[in-house]
Structure formats: C-alpha cells, structure tokens
Amino acid sequence: MIYFTKKPTQSLMLKFIIAICISVSLVACGGKTSTKTESKKAEEKKELLTLSLSAKQLELMNIQLVQPGKKAIASYVYLNGKVSSLPNNQANISSDLEGKVEQVFVTEGNYIGRGQPVLTLRSMPLIELQNEYLNTKSEMDFLAIEFKRQTELVNSNVGALAQYQVVEAKYNAIIAKEKALRAKLETLGVNVNDLQTPQNAVIKKMITISSPISGYIHKLPVKVGMLASPQSVLAEVVNLSEMQADLFVYDKDLNLIQEGQTVDLDFINASVPNVTGRVINIERMIDSENKAITIHVKFSAPDKSFVVPGMSVRGAVVNPNDKELSYAVPFSALLKEEDNYYVFFTNKTEDKEGKMSFKKAKVKLGDKNEQMVEIQFLNAVTEDIFIVQNNPMILENERRKNQ
C-alpha cells in the first residue's frame, strides 16, 4: 500500500496510474506465456506416444503386423462340473443264487469284455433247482402219456369226461412249471439239454458269474470262500468309452442352453485333450446344494487318455448373442499398464529415411474367446491400419528409450 505524506499533484497521480496499468499488462502477458508453454508440453507429451522403426529393426525385434479387420467374436459362458458314467455304461455284478466264491478271474483295474467270466460260485441251491427240474420233467412226461390215453378214451366214448379234464389241467400246470424252471436254469447258465433224462443227467454245481458289459473292474469286494447272496455286490464294472459331464448352470445363463447343443469340454489334467460333447438333457429342478441347474453332456473319451468318473471338467458354451462386428486382435497384441490396455498400430507409410511410424493407442476390451479379443479405439482410426500382433513390450521399451 502506498502512502502520500503530502497532497499529490495531478502530474504525480497520472504517473502512478500509468505504472499500475503497465504492471497489470505484464502479469497478463506472463499468464498467457505460461498457458502456451503448458499446451506446448502437452503436445510434446502426446507426440512421444509415437516412434519410428525401419523394416530391419522390425525384423530384429521379431515384430509381426496384422490387419485386424472387423469380425464377430464368439464369446463363451464357462460351466464347471464333474465327469460321471452313463447309466448303461456301469453295472453291479451279483448272483441270482446263494453260493460260496470258488474262484476269481479278475482284479480291480482289469479290462473285461461283455460275457467274460468274473468268478465262479459253488451253489447248493443250484443243485436243488436242477433236481426240481428233473422231477418236474419226469412228471410232465408221465402226464403227457396219461393225457394222450384219456384223450383216446374220450374220443371212443369210453372214458369219463371229468377224469379227462383233471388230467388235462394237471398236464398244463406241469408244462408251465417246466418252462419256468427251464428259464431259471438257462439264466444261471445251465444247459437244460443235459437234464432231459434222469439216467443221463449232468448235474452242475458251479455258477459262472459273467460281466454284463465291457469295461474296467472298479470294485471287487470278494475273496475265495466268501458266502455270496443275491443282495451282495460282487463287482462293479464301468465302461469309459462314453461318459457324461454333469455341468452346473445358473439361471442367468440358462437361456443359452438347449438340448442337442454342442459344448466344448476341457479337463484340469493338461494331458487330456479337449473334446466336444452334446447336451442330452437338462434337469428341471434347482440343486439345493449349489443353487444351480444340472445339464448332462454326453461325450466320447479321448483315445489313450485317463478320464474317469469324478474328475473335474469345465464346459464352454458359445454365446449366440454375439453378432456385432468389431476389431479383433490376438491377446499377444495387447500391452497392459495397470488397469489400461494399449496397442501399437501403423499405416505402413514410410518416411524419407524408410521408417514407419507407430502409434500407441489406448483401447477398450470387448468380447473374447480363447484366442482373440475385441478392441474398441477411444479415438477414431482409419480402416487401413496394421496392428502389432506380438511383442508390444519391446516397442514400448524402445519408445521409452527414445523419450
């Protein structure tokens, strides 16, 4: 603040006003100069996002260029689950008659064909069943002769009709019993032709238990001398040629699933190659444990691969709603800095020194699959650009070195 010790003259006041005006002008000019300097620095910083490289340099850096083009990237919905056996590809082996284990032909882990013997049982009920058949067969032969005789008497008007009817009823009953016993014995593997006459009958005392399907012996809880009943599970067999994946789908993705749809399956075990399966059915209830709906995907196990029930599996379902065209590049083209993504691109125009100008551009990611990802440039670019598809970090290091 300026103090005057005496009343200023008009001339002095004029000089003072001029001095103030000059000071204000200088300050204003200084502000404009500062703004221009900051703007210039920003332009320089923006220009530093580019670099120039020759074809030789690109070759040494192993840089490859690709013209992205616009395409629709099919994104996937991933579903987790477990491998399980198909109902017709697993079997519990048991005996229809009680008996003691006489001999076991397989061990756990063995592959066994359909109809191949698993074990034999020594069975007293089998002997009794054959004896019952022989008695029934003898009685049937006797009633056959008696029925024939009664038929002749009735036709000759000699025999009583009542007696004929009694014999006929007994004969039909014994025929039915013989057929039932024959079916039981044939089910147990007994050749009934060996039991046609008591004098030449061959009584069998062993039951051979065979596998109903081809597959691997999963469990074999038996040993020689053990008493096996019809309720005992003597072995478990599982066929691994065809299996199913039980995948869990949450309600937000349920509209993407339909029966007959193909599903790509991959396994946690990296040695097992990916396979393609087909949705065979969708459950109509929500699982109370995981709050999801289970879909069953049938697939064929890869040759010479170890895939067993209980293994974890992941299914990939294509999202049918992804139809919008966008720039798509491989993941190797992306340069990540914190939470942002960038790509380098060029229009392949060479300057006087034979160098191409590359620009670093920030992009926004869209849909993606295992190989490609959609990108969206934040600033407009021309259609004839080429994107660096590999080693973007090498270009970034070169750009920083030039900076």
Whole-number percent of the chain with pLDDT over 70: 85
Banded model confidence at residue 45, pLDDT cuts 50, 70, 90: very low
Q: Which range is most confident: 1-15, 149-163, 226-240, 251-265?
A: 226-240
Task: Say how far apart CA 36 and CA 39 lie, in whole Å.
Answer: 5
What's the CATH code, domain 78-87+240-318?
Answer: 2.40.30.170
For the chain, give every domain's residue range. Answer: 48-73+324-402, 78-87+240-318, 128-198
| Dihedral sign, Cα of residue 292, residue 295, residue 296, residue 300 | negative
Which tokens in the block code for residue 385?
């650009």
pLDDT above 70 for 72: no
Cα 62 to its chain centre, rounded Å, is 37
Q: Tens of pLDDT along 176-200? A: 999 999 999 999 989 999 898 888 8
Task: Say how far apart CA 43 and CA 34 lie, in whole Å.
Answer: 14
Q: Structure pTM?
A: 0.57
Banded model confidence at residue 24, pLDDT cuts 50, 70, 90: very low
**pLDDT score for 124:** 94
Task: Say how far apart CA 251 and CA 119 lie, in whole Å.
Answer: 49
Pick the CATH number of 48-73+324-402 from 1.10.287, 2.40.50, 2.40.420, 2.60.120: 2.40.420
Whether the domain at 48-73+324-402 and the domain at 78-87+240-318 fall into the same CATH topology? no
Q: How far is CA 395 from CA 333, 341, 354, in A?
A: 11, 14, 18
Average pLDDT, the chain: 83
Residues recorded for the chain = 403
